[in-house]
Structure 1
Amino acid sequence: MPLILLCAQLAGRCCRRLGQPAVIGEILAGILLGPSLLGRLSPGTERWLFTAHLAPVLDTLSQLGLVAFMFLIGYELDLGQLRRHRSSAVLISHAGIALPALAGILLAVPMYTRFAEPGVGFPVFALFIGVAMSVTAFPVLARVLTDRGLDRTPLGALALTSAAVGDVIAWCLLALVTALAGHHGPARVLVTIGLSGAFFLVMRYGVRPLLVRVGRADASRPVPVAAVLPLLLGGVLLSSYATDRIGVHPIFGAFLFGAVMPRNLPPVNAAVEHLRGVAGLLLPLFFVSAGLNIRLDLLGSDPTRWVWCLLITAVAMLAKWGASSAAARVDGIGWPQALSLGALMNCRGLTELVILSIGYQLGVISSLVYSLLVVMTLISTAVTAPALSGIARVFAGRRPAPVPPPELATVSSTSGTAF
């Protein structure tokens, strides 16, 4: 465990110095320690380090870090910003989901006959590939915007809002995939969807008012952080357990609990910071574990598999980037901002890895497909920062058309109302 944490920290810092997100380094650390490199150079050393009894411990700790992280994603979701930019965000996010998902489903047709696991139906496999092609990593995107000073700009606000809307859609589609993969028959899937809707209503109209009352205690007798933190952690775990029992992944419960959590309450904010420390410690274990599961050795010297790797990467990047940029242009945004927005929406990172890990754990995709999609994720994430710099150099000296404010968005009000 100390070796894993040390390697993750060192690799993450090296990637930050190169202008890349730390998650890329953490995954590379897992690849270096796993069967792709260490397992080939010294199989005995790998078996000695990663013994059979370590796998369940590592998986449990990494899943706890993942659940805490998903709670933070839900908690940091700016619902006010979603409402302000909803028209433009709906157009861009829907285009950025629809075209890549369609491209992924079409690509899944030849992939299914070559790479699908036995017993996995084509609808589940194709829908999962479509979801994997259409995801944007909200947290990595936020970090890229902050590092480049774009988080407070109209372009940054629109990118974050579009990514948040797109991720909500992707999570809903993934919930459908997990329901289809975990149960047989349409009746059970409908029951799972119905229970998920009921759980959302309970969280929104039952749990949230209760949390508001707890957070807004009498000012003369404020609730201590030591009392809020167990309540917070217990709520995250119980919500995750509930969605797991319903038939969808535990991360959905943690995300929803974070979304309904009241903001700007001092005891809640202090408790969230403690939980952020837990996630910061355990989450790298998840990404190292993701790297350990990558089997680049399965690609080997077979040129066909490497061609598939390049094809998947090219289709995912072109579809996502092109669809998001075209939608931004339709909304009246100038070419520099539209292309930059497309590059930002093409950043997959953490969210994509979470989705791929879920598909791999459910048996929807094989180890080979998992490895192919992780390579696509790493490349599309690593390209984001250089692409923004390249676009800025190409359009240097030109006065860009401003990003329209929310009230001047050209998308029809029907789309905003639907959202």
Structure 2
Amino acid sequence: MVIAAAASNPLSQLLIVVPVVILASGLGAWAVRRFGQPAVVGEIAVGICLGPSLLGLVWPGLQHRLFPADILPFIGALGDLGLLAFMFLVGLALNLGLLRGHSRTAVAVSQMSIALPLVLGSALALGMYGTFAPDGVDKLPFVLFIAVSMSITAFPVLARILTERDLYRTRTGAVAMACAAVDDVTAWCLLAVVVAVTSSSSPMAALVTVGLSVLYMLVMLYVVRPLLARWVARAERKWSDSAVLVVLFTGLCLSALATEEIGVHALFGAFVFGTMVPRDSPAVERAAARLQAVAVPILLPLFFVSTGLKTDLALLVRSGEQWLWVLAVMAVAVTGKWGGGSVAARLSGQRWRESLAIGALMNCRGLTELVVLNIGLSLGVIGTDLFAILVVMALVTTAMTSPLLTRILGPQPRPESDAPPASGAEALSGPDGAVRTARSKEPAETA
């Protein structure tokens, strides 16, 4: 058998695994789009199906031959590389100019849809600590991590849903994008604090990590950002698109390395570097499109399957108590994000219909939630049983979004053209959660 013959050679095994994963993810994305779902739902589901939850259950021999233990680090490394590129693209797409004219509503909704999940998530975590906390994990990092994981909104997936439903030019779409932008920045800053607290061996070490993080942000804002602005202006005239791509990729890697060494995770550095790069440059847009064309359809599916290999839903069926915890997590997640976002939008002057739609969009977690959960699992803050529960929550809350919007706002309109949207949605997401800018003429579909 070819798979068996390749098992001793990591390169040969990768040459089998990578096409299988890419094709399976593309098929999953295509299938769920037929039902009006964002493609990330299908990609998450495919990753889970290729893991112990389905393939490992019905055909364990094939699952072990396809994903032997010695190949998993390579799959994880390639997936992480795609994830770094993805986080850079998310940062590049994050346009706080969306707040113009909606700042009061955006701040109110985003902060309420973070504050309420933090409070409810903390209460839930205190109840879960004795059952789910791995040995040796203190209560504070466990509670902080669960609280932050409840407060995530997937900005790229939300942007894609708005685009597909032709909502990005509406007031509701503009407000939702602005809310998600503020939410994204706040949530990643909170996660950086949680990682610092979790990774540090003492309170003093945690303070040092936070201090270095502040210094890093100051350097990025007042040194790197102006230098990038001047370099981009020259690159338009003197640099080739390939050279621009090389510089941007090198920059995101160095920024990711800096935050990894500081102790707040490499993904945070890639995200921050993306926010520092000027967005109004055609050369940057072309380079970002090239990066997306490789990272999103080829590397990112390896992250989904890496996540799926760590997710064993069989852990949930062994006890009815586990499903009670699933329901509790779902209740907290939906109440905190949909409930908190809807009430805050209503109190900010939106009508109930638009408020409920904004809350439903804030409840979409997508790939961003998986990123956070993998960080928690790698840090040892959560175990595989709680990881599986939270992955189910991420999948269900993402799948809920489109049906809820249809119920609230009516059926999704047919797209009349694939022209780029107006300035209200400068950053759009591709079908699998990737980002493209409004100037880009390439179609968003990649699978």
Fold shared by both chains (TM-score > 0.5): yes
- Is the 1:64–1:282 contact (alpha carbons within 8 Å) kept by the matching residues of 2? yes
Structure-2 residue corresponding to 1:414:
none
Q: Deviations over 1:315-340 (max 9, x none)?
A: 21022111111111111111100111
Structure-2 residue corresponding to 1:362:
379
1:42 to 53, 59, 69: 59
Unpaired segments of 5 or more residues in structure 1? 395-405, 407-419
1:98-177 pair list within 5 angstroms: 98-177=115-194
- Is the 2:88–2:252 contact (alpha carbons within 8 Å) kept by the matching residues of 1? yes
Structure-1 residue corresponding to 2:265:
249
Q: CA deviation at 1:146?
A: 0.5
Larger deviation: 273-282 or 374-383? Answer: 273-282
Structure-2 residue corresponding to 1:282:
299
- Indicate whether 1:223 and 2:239 are aligned: yes
Q: Distance in 2 between matches of 1:100 and 1:45?
A: 41
Structure-1 residue corresponding to 2:88:
71
Cα distance, 1:129–1:218 mapped onto 2, change above 3 Å: closer
- Is the 1:23–1:287 contact (alpha carbons within 8 Å) kept by the matching residues of 2? no
Cα distance, 1:100–1:218 mapped onto 2, change above 3 Å: closer
- Is the 2:192–2:264 contact (alpha carbons within 8 Å) kept by the matching residues of 1? yes
Q: Distance in 2 between matches of 1:101 and 1:288?
A: 29
Q: CA deviation at 1:216?
A: 1.2
Q: Distance in 1 between matches of 2:213 and 2:172?
A: 34
Q: Deviations over 1:278-310 (max 9, x none)?
A: 221211211222122111011123111111111
Structure-1 residue corresponding to 2:41:
24
- Is the 1:90–1:162 contact (alpha carbons within 8 Å) kept by the matching residues of 2? yes
- Aligned residue pairs, count: 394
Which residue type is aligned with residue 48 of structure 1?
R
Structure-1 residue corresponding to 2:419:
none
Q: Distance in 1 between matches of 2:282 and 2:159?
A: 24
Residue aligned with 2:317, SS: coil
Structure-1 residue corresponding to 2:393:
376
- Is the 2:107–2:182 contact (alpha carbons within 8 Å) kept by the matching residues of 1? yes
Residue aligned with 2:234, SS: coil
Q: CA deviation at 1:223?
A: 1.7
Q: Deviations over 1:120-151 (max 9, x none)?
A: 11110111111111111100100110010001
Which residue type is aligned with residue 149 of structure 1?
D
Structure-1 residue corresponding to 2:445:
none
1:211-360 pair list within 5 angstroms: 211-217=228-234, 221-280=237-296, 281-360=298-377
Structure-2 residue corresponding to 1:196:
213
Q: Distance in 2 between matches of 1:307 and 1:319?
A: 18
Q: CA deviation at 1:266?
A: 2.5
Q: CA deviation at 1:248?
A: 0.6
Which residue type is aligned with residue 231 of structure 1?
V
Q: Segments of 4+ in structure 1 off by > 6 A? A: none
Q: Distance in 1 between matches of 2:373 and 2:145?
A: 9
Q: Distance in 2 between matches of 1:391 and 1:225?
A: 44
Cα distance, 1:393–1:276 mapped onto 2, change above 3 Å: closer
Residue aligned with 1:299, SS: helix
Larger deviation: 247-256 or 204-213? Answer: 204-213
Structure-2 residue corresponding to 1:62:
79
Structure-2 residue corresponding to 1:413:
none
Q: Distance in 1 between matches of 2:189 and 2:229?
A: 26
The alignment yields a C-alpha RMSD, in angstroms, of 1.5
- Is the 2:96–2:178 contact (alpha carbons within 8 Å) kept by the matching residues of 1? no
- Is the 1:215–1:223 contact (alpha carbons within 8 Å) kept by the matching residues of 2? no
Cα distance, 1:144–1:393 mapped onto 2, change above 3 Å: closer
Q: CA deviation at 1:82?
A: 3.0
Unpaired segments of 5 or more residues in structure 2? 1-17, 412-423, 425-447
Structure-1 residue corresponding to 2:407:
390
Q: CA deviation at 1:393?
A: 4.9
Residue aligned with 2:136, SS: coil
- Is the 2:51–2:305 contact (alpha carbons within 8 Å) kept by the matching residues of 1? no
Which residue type is aligned with residue 229 of structure 1?
L
Residue aligned with 2:23, SS: helix
Q: Distance in 2 between matches of 1:244 and 1:377?
A: 25
- Is the 1:68–1:278 contact (alpha carbons within 8 Å) kept by the matching residues of 2? no
TM-score normalised per structure 1: 0.91
TM-score normalised per structure 2: 0.86
Q: CA deviation at 1:83?
A: 4.5
Identical pairs, percent:
51
